[in-house]
Amino acid sequence: MAKLKTLRAATSGSPSNPISLQNEVLSFAETHHLLPQGVSAASLSAQLATTPEFARKHLIFPASFGSTSEWVCNFATTGEGSAKPIIILPRLIPILLIPIPRAFVSWSTPDGITSVGGLISHTGFIAYGVQKGIALGFWGIGFSIFLPPVDAYGIFGYALFAKVTAQYYEFYPPNNPPEITQTDPADGQQMVPMTTTKLQFSISDYDGDLMSFNVTTSPDIGSGSGGLKPGGVYSIPVQGLQDLTRYTWRITVTDGKDTVSKTQSFITEPVAPIISNVLPEDNDNAVPVDLSQLQFYLKDYQGDAMSYTVMTSPDIGSGSGTNIHDGTVTIPVHGLTMASAYRWYVNVTDGTHWNRKVFRFQTSYPEQFNPFDYGWHYRKTLTINHELVDESLSNFPVLVSITDNDLKQKAQTDGSDILFMNATGVSHKSYFEIETYQGSTGTLTAWVNIPTVSPDADVTFYMYYGNPDALTIEEKEKTWDNNYLVVQHMHQDSAANFKDSTHYHNDIISQTGSPSYQQIGKIGYCVGFHGSDALSFASSIYNIAPATVEVWGKTETTSSDQYLFCDGGETSRSYGFYWYIQGGQFGTTMMNLPKWVGQDGIATAVPGQWYFCASTWDGTDSDGHFVINDQVFTKTSGIDNRNEPANNAKIGQCSEGQYGFHGLIDEVRLSKVARDVGWLTTEYTNSINPTAFVVVGAEEGP
């Protein structure tokens, strides 16, 4: 009865709104030890005030209105609406004063909070939001009140059994989610045999909880599920695989409290013969005129004998062969002319299945030449402002980003005749890559490899245009020095077209979710990510320093942890390189186990602003350097004994498929050397103000 009197005193004065009443109810529950150990009324009140936003921010997971329960427990619940019975008073057997439990009490609310703690198990949970609950063998107190605008209830006490079906849960002690590992086929695996009859995976739970799983495939080759399984290896049967087809399979696992998913993909082996390793490479535009043979490799994965034919246009040679097996084929050619385009056709069959490929190449201009002698009509001088260069740099890729009316009126509509030279007259062609060109506006985004830039003197180079007969002569792979492992400009219109600009061909092979392509970026176009999206490489690209990691990002929110670029690392900071936002602050990690450098909270991430994020470290005991825009931070290396296997590199998520980015990502690069800080800050200056960095002169003719 003393508790009832205390409750009446606590709730006297008719609270003016449900929130006030809920706070008083929670305070009463705390005073009389009705909340789980370590949980305060203040924390519950704060959580309730922000639900469901709190649930999103603190990873309280949606249970899709699943249920959870406790035996022999105490609990407190309050929310909008009413409970049954409307008034609950403690009941005692007369004289003996022994508690008489009620058979049950129940509640249903569109917005409530319930805290349940097991007296024997020492486990518990808090339920938020829309919920229904029932308590059996209940002894305690409770009431409902409806005094407009107040419509609320409160119940506290003990129960033999309490069960809640709710929108959100948080468990005590915090639940460890299941893990999905050792998938077979592995994510991104290619040449998966057509004879594959099952998809296999391993599940585990640190808490030892039984788990249920569900697996689906797309295109549909099978599915399966299992309920209340211990940790172990499981599989589902599949059938009807088609050759050279990408299949996606999604594994969802729950321990009844937490649910995790992993989406994997693989590509089946071909049935028809494969044509690969062609020389010259397809679309090579710098083939010497003394080329003497075409070359390619034939393979049949079923071991069948093959026959082939090869033709060229214009005719520079042909060939054929029968009853051959896997191996390299060469076709002699002759009579190539300078600055000409060629096509060659390969047809191969194993007697049942055919494969046909068309390859293109063009021969190069002379090593040194005067563009005005080869059909170009115009040029402009481009001058690098030395005052914006932080140190002397070699083979530096300079960004040329301009909108030029002369280009619009006189260049080819696709920009094929745009050419960069290192001097006037007879001179060397500069290596360059055109990222984008819009002929309707004359807007050009290009990268030009300049042999030397200096902080002491301006450097000039030249842009030629206005040649209707010119062939495309950019050489993007030579624009980026051999230490670049990945250069992704993020400007393409689909994941299938994300081709690496370096000669290592670290292309994007798959996407997760639905990224938004060709958004307005920091430099040309970029990609928008929405938290569940990612672009994946075929493998971990490079996981030991020395290294340099670069990425441009603009986040929409800092309410969740998110990764911009992760090269093969685990979330426990054990392997690889990452740039991320955590707690609204930028952070990075670089590994060369057992050594590492990294730092959380380098700089504040403001939503809606672009940031250049770069880290460089030589992998030794020396310091690592981190660049955020034009600010440089230095961090001493440390020791880390953790060493987990490397995962695939990803853009927009960590390599485990978590912590998705919300916003725009542009210009992702990875180098296998520790580039100077001056290189990175000069890149930033060039990117942030390209028209000041490269000054365009007046148009000139022959």
- Residue-wise pLDDT for 305-346, tens only, equals 999 999 999 999 999 999 999 999 999 999 999 889 999 999
Whether residue 469 sits in one domain with residue 546: no
**348 and 275 Cβ atoms separated by less than 8 Å:** yes
The pLDDT-based confidence of 96 (bands split at 50, 70, 90) is low
- Inside any domain, residue 679: no
pLDDT higher than threshold 70 for residue 411: yes
Mark which of 172, 191, 217 sits at the end of a domain.
172
Whether residue 506 sits in one domain with residue 472: no
- Inside any domain, residue 551: yes
CB atoms within 10 A of CB 405: 10
Q: Mean pLDDT throughout 43-57? A: 45
pLDDT higher than threshold 70 for residue 408: yes
Q: What's the pLDDT tens digit per position in 216-250?
A: 999 999 999 999 999 999 999 999 999 889 899 99
Whether residue 580 sits in one domain with residue 491: yes
Whether residue 306 sits in one domain with residue 335: yes
**CA-to-CA distance for 363 and 272, rounded, in angstroms?**
31
> Which of 114-128, 167-181, 430-444, 517-531 shows the lowest mean pLDDT across its residues?
167-181
Q: Output the pTM of the full model.
A: 0.64
Q: In sequence order, what are the residues at sequence separation of 6 or more whose Cβ sits closer than 8 angstroms to the Cβ of residue 53?
A: none
Three-state SS at 473: coil
Mark which of 268, 300, 328 sits at the end of a domain.
268
Closest CA to 85 of 57, 105, 109: 105
- Inside any domain, residue 670: yes
- Inside any domain, residue 684: no
The pLDDT-based confidence of 138 (bands split at 50, 70, 90) is very high
Q: Which helix (DSSP H) or strand (DSSP E) does residue 224 occupy?
A: strand 224-229
Q: In sequence order, what are the residues at sequence separation of 6 or more whose Cβ sits closer than 8 angstroms to the Cβ of residue 145?
A: 21, 151, 152, 153
Q: Provide the CATH number for the domain around residue 618.
A: 2.60.120.200
Number of domains observed in the structure of the chain = 5
pLDDT of residue 62: 38
Closest CA to 113 of 31, 38, 159, 168: 168
pLDDT higher than threshold 50 for residue 63: no
Whether residue 190 sits in one domain with residue 126: no
Q: Residue 375, CB half-sphere, CA atoms under 13 Å: how many?
A: 12
| φ/ψ of residue 226, rounded to 5 | -155, 145
Percent of the chain with pLDDT over 90: 68
pLDDT higher than threshold 60 for residue 595: yes
Q: What's the pLDDT tens digit per position in 355-369?
A: 999 999 999 888 899
- Inside any domain, residue 683: no
Range of the domain at 227: 179-268
Decide the pairing of beta strands 259-268 and 189-192. Answer: parallel
**CA-to-CA distance for 408 and 465, rounded, in angstroms?**
10
Q: What's the pLDDT tens digit per position in 415-425?
A: 999 999 999 99
CB atoms within 10 A of CB 452: 11
- Inside any domain, residue 685: no
Q: Provide the CATH number for the domain around residue 200.
A: 2.60.40.1220
pLDDT of residue 517: 96
pLDDT higher than threshold 50 for residue 145: yes
The pLDDT-based confidence of 182 (bands split at 50, 70, 90) is very high
**294 and 334 Cβ atoms separated by less than 8 Å:** no
Q: What's the pLDDT tens digit per position in 502-553?
A: 999 999 988 999 999 999 999 999 999 999 999 998 888 887 789 999 999 9
**570 and 644 Cβ atoms separated by less than 8 Å:** yes
**CA-to-CA distance for 604 and 524, rounded, in angstroms?**
25
Residue type, position 245, single letter: T
Whether residue 285 sits in one domain with residue 237: no
b vs e for 423-440, b when ≥16 Cβ sit within 10 Å of the residue's Cβ?
eeeeeebbbbbbbbbbee
Closest CA to 44 of 95, 90, 113, 92: 113
* Average pLDDT for the chain: 88
Q: Tokens at residue 562, please?
A: 């998110």
Please report the beta strands in 28-149, taking only residues with DSSP state E, as ranges in sequence order: 61-62, 67-80, 83-84, 87-88, 102-118, 124-147
Which DSSP string do the residues of 12-32 spell out, in sequence order? TT--SSHHHHHHHHHHHHHHT
Q: Tokens at residue 334, please?
A: 């002759």
Whether residue 338 sits in one domain with residue 248: no
pLDDT of residue 369: 93
Mark which of 137, 172, 207 sits at the end of a domain.
172
pLDDT of residue 610: 97
Whether residue 446 sits in one domain with residue 463: yes
Q: Mean pLDDT throughout 577-604? A: 89
Tokens 């979330």 — which residue? Answer: 571
Q: Which residues pair with 294 in a beta bridge?
A: 331
Q: Tokens at residue 647, please?
A: 């995962």
Q: Tokens at residue 134, please?
A: 């029932």
CA 427 to chain centre: 43
| φ/ψ of residue 479, rounded to 5 | -70, -30
pLDDT of residue 74: 94
pLDDT higher than threshold 70 for residue 593: yes
**329 and 295 Cβ atoms separated by less than 8 Å:** yes
- Inside any domain, residue 682: no
Closest CA to 153 of 80, 249, 213: 80
> Which of 40-44, 81-85, 648-652 shows the lowest mean pLDDT across its residues?
40-44
For the CA atoms of 420, 423, 425, 427, the dihedral, rounded to the nearest 10 degrees, stands at: -80
pLDDT of residue 550: 97
Residue type, position 9, single letter: A
Q: What's the pLDDT tens digit per position in 154-171?
A: 999 999 999 999 988 888
Whether residue 59 sits in one domain with residue 9: yes
- In this structure, the chain runs to a length of 702
pLDDT of residue 702: 87
Three-state SS at 608: coil
pLDDT of residue 575: 61
**139 and 158 Cβ atoms separated by less than 8 Å:** yes
Whether residue 35 sits in one domain with residue 137: yes
Whether residue 463 sits in one domain with residue 526: no
pLDDT: is 27 or 187 the higher one?
187
- Inside any domain, residue 242: yes
Whether residue 333 sits in one domain with residue 195: no
